[in-house]
Amino acid sequence: MSYVPNTDADRKKMLEVIGVSRFEDLLDAVPKEVRLQEPLKIPPPASELELFADLRKLSRQNVPVSVSNSFLGGGFYDHFTPAAADFIIRRPEFLTSYTPYQAEVAQGTLQIIYEFQSLICALTKMEAANASLYDGASAVAEAALMAAHATERKEILVTEGLNPNYLAVLETYVTGGAYQVRSIPLGPSGQIEPEMLKKAISEKTAALILQTPNFFGCLEEAKELEPIVHTVGAKFVAVFDPISLGMVTPPGEFNADIAVAEGQSLGVPISYGGPAVGLFAAKRELVRRMPGRIAARTTDAEGKIGYVLTLQTREQHIRREKATSNICTNQGLMATLSTVFMSLVGKQGLLQMARLSYAKAHYTAALLESKGFKRVYSAPFFKEFALELPVPASKVVSRLRKSNIVPGIDLGKYDKKRKNQLLIAVTEKKLRADIESLAEGMSFFRPQTGSGIAPERKLEAAGQV
């Protein structure tokens, strides 16, 4: 099956019209010595029936978050998605259309982008948003480059609380240019301390990239940090959690210049981390430096309201090497999905999702604390927190897997010094019973005080690890 409708009879007629006798004649520019003599080494074609059975089998070798009792987060979250959202993106009008280069036959896509931008501006209280970037990480990297260009400075300050995957991508992006990335450690509470920031920041700094809630779940004192950043003339880049903004201070309220995020929580399936959707918003004064596509409302010759892509002179197809970024595509379908999500969830729904996540995460933390576990940090948190364990987190993860519980992320994966820390995310989808079974499973590892034996040794002695 190749989805090619032309038959041999069609082909014959077409070659006649072209005026050649054989298909190979059309390849006269392809050097003969490199033309393939043998078929590609690819498995033979499979019928839809056989292939789908095969794919189903392959998919069953994976454990979906809906099947395990999962507390995984770290940037991708299992939040609620209303059923209606997927119905909309399955419509071929959205699924199989292209970038809206011909506005007159792309008003659906363009209006959705405009509404997406409007919803993101309302969410973040920022003045301008684009039509999405690839993911949270590329949004952070593009924000850093944009701040560097706007300030004509080379130093990017990040915090230890920045998602390590975002930091890794940022570092890849800046290896080409002459930029430096410097990191500020978190204080004992799990937050950036104003004094530490004052010491680290200078008139060489292009931007502070502050994630709040940070990777370890702690809310940062963004309002206190903001004047320090702006005093030296740097840009304040805030990395936010979109669901948190139902109840948490949005970046616009603490005067961020650029606000970026991973938008997956807004209705996009986790899908092993991609496709996701990068959210990107900024102050109005920066709009001409923003990467990516932007849709605008305008009118046609008769005064009818319509939408077009605008400010395209920033983009690579016009400015080429002088473009604001090399980004040419956006995450159109994912932006559509999140637009429908935001429209359905609405003003009250997001607040409820945020409050439920907050309540359940705090219940989880309290329950674990009652069993003697300690949070790594004391700062206020939203829906995710790091837990100190008496044994390596990897052991907890592999033991709880046997009870179909995925307790969280082993932070030792990102930092060896954190091998005894577990990052636990709790969304509104978790039921009290799910949380209690996590706490039950974790009880096995509860810290034991005063015995004089390290808990790990004791477990090993009992042959249980």
Q: Which of residues 404-423 bind other proteins (CB under 8 A)?
A: 406, 409
Sign of the alpha-carbon torsion through 406, 408, 411, 414: positive
Q: Rounded CA gap, 131 and 289, in Å?
A: 14
- Which residue in 160, 262, 368, 442 binds other proteins (CB under 8 A)? 262
Q: Rounded CA gap, 454 and 348, in Å?
A: 48
Sign of the alpha-carbon torsion through 67, 69, 74, 78: positive
Stretch that binds other proteins, among 60-68, 226-234, 385-393, 449-457 (CB under 8 A): 60-68
Smallest separation, CB 346 to other proteins (Å): 5
The yes or no reply on residue 297 touching other proteins (CB under 8 A) is yes
Closest Cα to residue 386, out of 209, 161, 196, 211? 161
Stretch that binds other proteins, among 186-194, 198-206, 264-272, 453-461 (CB under 8 A): 264-272
336 touches 112 (CB < 8 A) = yes
Smallest separation, CB 51 to other proteins (Å): 5
- Which residue in 21, 348, 370, 451 binds other proteins (CB under 8 A)? 348
The yes or no reply on residue 253 touching other proteins (CB under 8 A) is yes
Q: Which is nearer to other proteins, 160 or 315 (CB)?
A: 315
Q: Which is nearer to other proteins, 284 or 448 (CB)?
A: 284
φ, ψ of residue 359 to 5 degrees: the values are -65, -45
The yes or no reply on residue 310 touching other proteins (CB under 8 A) is yes
- Which residue in 219, 422, 439, 459 binds other proteins (CB under 8 A)? 219
Q: Which is nearer to other proteins, 128 or 258 (CB)?
A: 128
The yes or no reply on residue 104 touching other proteins (CB under 8 A) is yes
Q: Rounded CA gap, 135 and 260, in Å?
A: 10
- Which residue in 143, 148, 259, 350 binds other proteins (CB under 8 A)? 350
The yes or no reply on residue 214 touching other proteins (CB under 8 A) is no
CA–CA–CA angle 339, 343, 344 (5° rounding): 120
Q: Rounded CA gap, 348 and 368, in Å?
A: 30
Stretch that binds other proteins, among 63-71, 192-200, 231-239, 444-452 (CB under 8 A): 63-71
Give 182's strand partners.
157
- Which residue in 21, 22, 303, 462 binds other proteins (CB under 8 A)? 303
- Which residue in 8, 21, 31, 451 binds other proteins (CB under 8 A)? 31
Query: What Å distances lie between residue 177 and 96, 173, 237, CA to CA?
Result: 37, 8, 19
The mark string for 324-343 relative to other proteins (x by CB under 8 A, - otherwise) is -xxxxxxxxxx-x--xx-xx
Q: Rounded CA gap, 81 and 97, in Å?
A: 24
133 touches 142 (CB < 8 A) = yes
Stretch that binds other proteins, among 198-206, 227-235, 266-274, 369-377 (CB under 8 A): 266-274
144 touches 170 (CB < 8 A) = yes
109 touches 94 (CB < 8 A) = yes
116 touches 339 (CB < 8 A) = yes
Burial zone of 392 (CB within 10 Å; 0-12 exposed, 13-18 middle, 19+ buried): middle
The mark string for 160-199 relative to other proteins (x by CB under 8 A, - otherwise) is ---x-xx-xx-xxx-xxxx---------------------
The mark string for 359-398 relative to other proteins (x by CB under 8 A, - otherwise) is xx-xx--x-------------x-x--------------xx
Stretch that binds other proteins, among 153-161, 185-193, 287-295, 443-451 (CB under 8 A): 287-295
Cβ neighbours for 224, distance < 8 A, ≥ 6 positions apart: 194
Total residues interacting with other proteins, rule: CB under 8 A: 211
- Which residue in 46, 53, 454, 461 binds other proteins (CB under 8 A)? 46
- Which residue in 8, 21, 40, 370 binds other proteins (CB under 8 A)? 40
Query: What Å distances lie between residue 306 and 121, 293, 296, 301, 335, CA to CA?
Result: 20, 17, 8, 10, 19
Q: Rounded CA gap, 420 and 390, in Å?
A: 7
The yes or no reply on residue 439 touching other proteins (CB under 8 A) is no
- Helix (H/G/I), strand (E/B), else coil: 180: strand
CA 12 to centroid of chain Cα atoms: 50
The yes or no reply on residue 61 touching other proteins (CB under 8 A) is yes
Stretch that binds other proteins, among 104-112, 199-207, 231-239, 445-453 (CB under 8 A): 104-112
- Which residue in 8, 22, 56, 450 binds other proteins (CB under 8 A)? 56
